[in-house]
Amino acid sequence: MGGLPKKAQQLVELREKKSGVLALDSGALLFKEERIPPDQGQRLTTTAQGIVSAYNKMSFAAVGIARQDLAAGLPFLLALQQKADFPWLSANLASRTSGKPYFKPHTLLTMAEMNLAVIGLTGNQGANDLLTEKDNAVILSWEEVLPKEISLLKGRADMLILLSSFPAAVNKKIADRHPEIHLILQSGNASGNLPPEMINNTLITQVEQQGKAVGILEIHWNAQTKKWGDPSADNLLLDKRNELDRLGWQIGRYRKNGDPKVVFKNQPDVLTAYEALLTQRQRLDQEIARLLAEQNARNASRAQFSSFSYRFEAMRKELPDNPAVHTIVETTTNEVNRLGKLAAKARAATPLAQSQGVFPENHVGSSACQSCHVPQFKKWLNTRHASAYATLKRKGQQFNTKCLPCHVTGAFGQSEEIVLSLAADLRQVGCETCHGPSKQHAARPQSAKPNRPTKDTCLRCHTADQDDNFIFPEALARLRCGNP
Amino acid sequence: MTKSSFLLLVLLILLTEAFASEAAEKKKDGGDPPAGLHELTFFFSNDVWGETEPCG
């Protein structure tokens, strides 16, 4: 989950501390997929508009266009561009007939008494039919457009930045061929944050997907030499510091309910894992002290080269929200919920939404489990799983199909139509969420056994950004049904 | 110098110092960059995928 209000607050706080802060996004801002399911168009485009308002509020300097940003169609993005205070950049999304780009190919900015040029490139990998005949558009290769852009900007910028949604391997090739580009911020499928990597004289970096983190890259730039110094030694220190931060966060999770030695005294596995983290932290502390001493010794002759430091900030739950962006997000989610409510109403008359609602394939509902598993059912009634839908309802988001799958049973992978029409008996995180569809088990209890929940079952919803206190063995011990 | 112009002068000095320490405070976090170097911070993101905030 994105946590835009948290991201905005991080940016505000950074700007309070530092002058010369530039906010950039390299693309895939609006949509996850290259195609929008027809029944989710309104919800997703409403959210996209909300995101643009939030980015306006955050004063983003430029945003790159990735293929996913075209999911609602080129006309939608062209219209949305009119509502953005920042330029959408793509040098290679061009008219099929004239070859002219549909969006600004680059933008020039002045910051920290420097002229900066930012170029946008849209990745052209993937299906050919993303753009329709009617769009009269084509995504050109980077080889066709980039040399021209670079030569156009020659002598006009102290630093050249590329926002690229080409795959990492292509960006490395670009860096290799064009050392005039000093920084590539890329978008694409990264399962984690990618620390800056130096190729030739170009830094390439990226944050993990789904808005889970932001990257902060602080540089000291020599506009005369325009050369990066050797970052490997300093980077090692930063990597170790980032590792230490992560460890501190993990250790904090074990300590949230008091001294782990007391809390987990009956769970030796959990305690062993906790103690291993403590040992690891001690080792890291020593290593960081050594690297720091080495760094101090190196600091004498660095003015002729440029240097950088970086960090990635995870959008953790406890980070503060920015009130203005929070309001934008709240307005957007309320609108999304209103649209869902209208859709649910419209469907009420269809055969799918009968009075008892829909049971997706092989689902039977928690009430069926109750008849044989009385103590287990009673225990479940006292968990937050049993009131997950009520929580959503209390927030007025019970028609928000983005939120619903984690607050009901059997909604993953289902169409919006089914998600909005689920039977009342599935409108909670019920037995089948953990144990899988159990219609067969209800019919033949002895021969068809339900699943045992695995960590992956829980991680569909208890992701780090949704629930950064989630520890699987601890959750399992707390929620375990016991012998059926 | 009249009493009021003296007070005005004192006020101006105090205000100048207040602004100077505010600017110093702003610099404190990153420290001064080495001579000839420009200090710049990139705040960057990608692949937000239309996500806004957690649900509940």
Q: Sign (positive/negative) of CA torsion A84, A89, A95, A96?
A: negative
Domain membership of residue B54 (yes or no) is no
pLDDT digits (tens, 9 = 90+) for A213-270: 999 999 999 998 898 887 677 778 888 888 888 888 888 888 888 899 998 988 888 8
Does residue A276 sit in helix, strand or coil? helix
Q: What are the angstrom distances between the C-alpha of B25 and each of A16, A20, A22, B18, B43? A: 10, 15, 20, 11, 21
Same domain, A30 and A120: yes
How much is the pLDDT for A236? 82
Average pLDDT value for residue range A204-218: 92
Collapse the DSSP code of B29 into the 3-class scheme (helix H, G, I; strand E, B; otherwise coil) and give the result.
coil
Residues A214 and A253 in one domain: no
pLDDT at residue A358, as a whole number: 87
Strand partners for B45: A25
Strand order in the sheet with A183-186: A106-111, A114-121, A159-164, A183-186, A202-206, A194-199
Q: Based on the domain organization, do A37 and A172 belong to the same domain?
A: yes
The CATH number covering residue A100 comes to 3.60.21.10
A325 within a domain of the structure (yes/no): no
CATH number of the domain residue A461 falls in: 1.10.1130.10
ipTM, 2 decimals?
A: 0.76
Residue A234 covered by a domain: no
Sequence letter at residue A202: T
A12 close contact with B: CB closer than 8 A: no
Same domain, A54 and A177: yes
Q: Which candidate in A63, A221, A225 is best for mutational testing of the B interface (most B CBs within 10 A)?
A: A221
Question: Is B47 part of the contact surface with chain A (CB cutoff 8 Å)?
Answer: yes
Is A59 part of the contact surface with chain B (CB cutoff 8 Å)?
no
Q: How far is CA B45 from CA A8, A193, A210, in A?
A: 12, 10, 10
Cβ A160 vs Cβ A221: under 8 Å = no
User: A431 near A362, Cβ under 8 Å?
Assistant: no
Domain housing A411: 348-479
Q: Say yes or no to pLDDT of A9 above 90.
A: yes
A121 vs A360, which has greater pLDDT? A121
The encoded tokens of residue A39 equal: 């029944």
Cβ–Cβ below 8 Å for A113 and B50:
no
pLDDT number for residue A130: 85
> Would the CB atoms of B47 and A17 count as touching at under 8 Å?
no
| Lowest mean pLDDT segment, chosen from A385-389, B6-10, B31-35 | B31-35
If asked whether residues A386 and A270 sit together in one domain, one would say no
| Domain, as residue range, for B32 | 1-48
Distance from CA of A409 to the nearest CA of B (A): 16
Pick from A185, A306, A466: CB nearest B54: A466
Put simply, the chain A residues between 379 and 438 with a CB less than 8 A from any chain B CB are: 388, 391-392, 395, 397, 400, 402-403, 406-407
Give the distance from residue B25's alpha carbon to the nearest chain A alpha carbon, in angstroms. Answer: 8
Is residue A484 assigned to a domain? no
* A51 and A200 in a common domain: yes
Same domain, A208 and A259: no
Q: What angle do CA A161, A124, B41 make, to 5 degrees?
A: 20
Asked, for residue A207, whether it belongs to a domain, the answer is yes
Instruction: Spell out a b/e string for A57-81, using b for 16 or more CB atoms within 10 Å of the CB, else e.
Output: bbebbbbbbbbbbbbbbbebbeebb
Residues A297 and A432 in one domain: no
Q: Is residue B53 part of a domain?
A: no
Q: How many domains does chain B have?
A: 1
Residues A197 and A252 in one domain: no
Is residue B43 one of the residues assigned to a domain?
yes
Range with the poorest average pLDDT among A50-59, A106-115, A308-317, B47-56: B47-56
Strands A137-139 and A93-95: antiparallel
* A178-186 LR contacts (CB < 8 Å, sep 24+): A178/A146, A178/A147, A178/A150, A178/A202, A180/A150, A180/A154, A181/A119, A181/A150, A182/A226, A182/A228, A183/A159, A183/A217, A183/B42, A185/A24, A185/A26, A185/A64, A185/A161, A185/A215, A185/B42, A185/B44, A185/B46, A186/A26, A186/B46
Q: Please report residues of B whose CB lies closer than 8 A to that of A54.
A: 52
Residue A365 in contact with residue A440, Cβ under 8 Å?
no
Residues A168 and A278 grouped into a single domain: no
For B45, nearest residue in chain A (alpha carbons) = A25
3-state secondary structure of A169: helix
Average pLDDT over residues A331-348: 85
In this predicted structure, what is the pLDDT of residue A89? 98
Does some domain include residue A426?
Answer: yes
- Interface touch A20/B39, C-beta < 8 Å: yes
Tokens representing residue A470 in the block: 């989630």
**Number of independent structural domains in chain A:** 3
* Cα-based distances in Å from A186 to A115, A141, A162, A180, A196: 21, 16, 8, 17, 11
pTM across the whole model: 0.74
Restricting to A residues 166-185, those with a Cβ less than 8 Å away from any Cβ of B are 183, 185
Say if B24 is an interface residue toward chain A (CB within 8 Å): no
Per-residue model confidence as pLDDT tens digits over A119-163:
999 998 877 778 888 899 999 999 999 999 999 999 999 999 999
Q: What pLDDT is attached to residue A219?
A: 94
Same domain, A133 and A259: no
As a whole number, mean pLDDT of residues A109-117 equals 94
A268: its two tokens? 């030796």
Is A62 within 8 Å of chain B by CB?
no
